[in-house]
Amino acid sequence: MSLGAWITLAILLVILAVLAGGAWRTRVLAARAERLVPRIGQVQPVPGGMIHFVKVGDPERQTLVLIHGLAGQLQQFTYALTDRLSNEFHVIALDRPGCGYSTRDGDDLAALPRQAEMIAAFLEARGIDRAVLVGHSLGGAVALATALDHPERVAGLALLAPLTHPVGEVPDVFRPLAVRSAWLRRALGHTIAIPVGERTAEAVLTEVFAPEDWPDDFLVAAGGALGLRPQAYVAACADLVASGESIAGQAARYDELSVPGAILFGAGDTVLAPAAHGTTMARHGLPTTLLPGRGHMIPLTAPEDCEAFIRSTAEHAEPRTSPPTHGAGKA
């Protein structure tokens, strides 16, 4: 065998060793994540998958449905918001399709209209006819899609730092998720993406939370450890790509919005610009309030402000038009 052939073989063996080591480390991290953050709620089957959710408060009161953002999970709401709202509302926090302990049958279901379909089906299955949707970041885009395509299920919109328009170039912090190939997402997710994510987690959180600090207990109490699983990486990649492909068409339809709502943004948000994603929505009936000194992750860093905003917005929501159906007993 020639020297060149030996070198090629050595390089291939090194690559295989790195991939094998990454796959082993990925399994270790994923198992640890599920021990640290176990499933805490119920699972509702819907066409295309299953939605994991938790619920607190009186089902006879107005329902709030809390929808998290990119690479998140419902613990970002249970961390500081759900209990604050439960004395006045029936509160449901859910894992978006494919995220946390929810599932979806394919990456095509990451498109904003398809996620809206699954959430509308969830509301129908739970007997909830008119919910106030509280969407954070990408969850705000999903809430808007639900209001556009399924307005009969939506009483109002309380949007926290929502994605509302195309962002142009993907922010550096999310660039590793801009993987368009479904098979490559899975190959990376089961080998090197999770170990790399573990090493870069602190830097990523610092950027996402800027200009504020991220909570010391974020990985467990706010569910962040669940991001260190292959399915979380695959879902986040699909969400990033699919939302980028569908948000422009959605933005062109905002004149069709028929439900009341409002937007709350951290004035110092470095992930989504308040001027581009908040202020512009006033023409569509969604005024924006800015929180000085706050960043993108306001459900965790400014829960008091978010609580007051949600309560105020819900006061102007359309009342439920009919009593709970037979499914409401499950809610």
In the chain, where the domains are located? 41-184+241-320
Angle at CA of residue 258, ends 257 and 263, nearest 5°: 60
Residue 69 has which token pair?
């953002």
CA distance 248 to 113: 12
pTM: 0.93
pLDDT per residue rounded down to tens, the chain (331 residues): 776 766 765 666 666 666 777 889 899 999 999 999 999 999 999 999 999 999 999 999 999 999 999 999 999 999 999 999 999 999 999 999 999 999 999 999 999 999 999 999 999 999 998 999 999 999 999 999 999 999 999 999 999 999 999 998 888 889 999 999 999 999 999 999 999 999 999 999 999 999 999 999 999 999 999 999 999 999 999 999 999 999 999 999 999 999 999 999 999 999 999 999 999 999 999 999 999 999 999 999 999 999 999 999 999 887 654 433 434 434 4
- SS3 state of residue 41: coil
Residue type, 144: L
Instruction: Name the CATH topology of 41-184+241-320.
Output: Rossmann fold (3.40.50)
Strands 63-67 and 49-56, how do they pair?
unpaired
Residue 17 has which token pair?
């060793």
Helix, strand, coil percentages in the chain from 3-state DSSP, rounded to 5: 50, 15, 35
- SS3 state of residue 171: coil
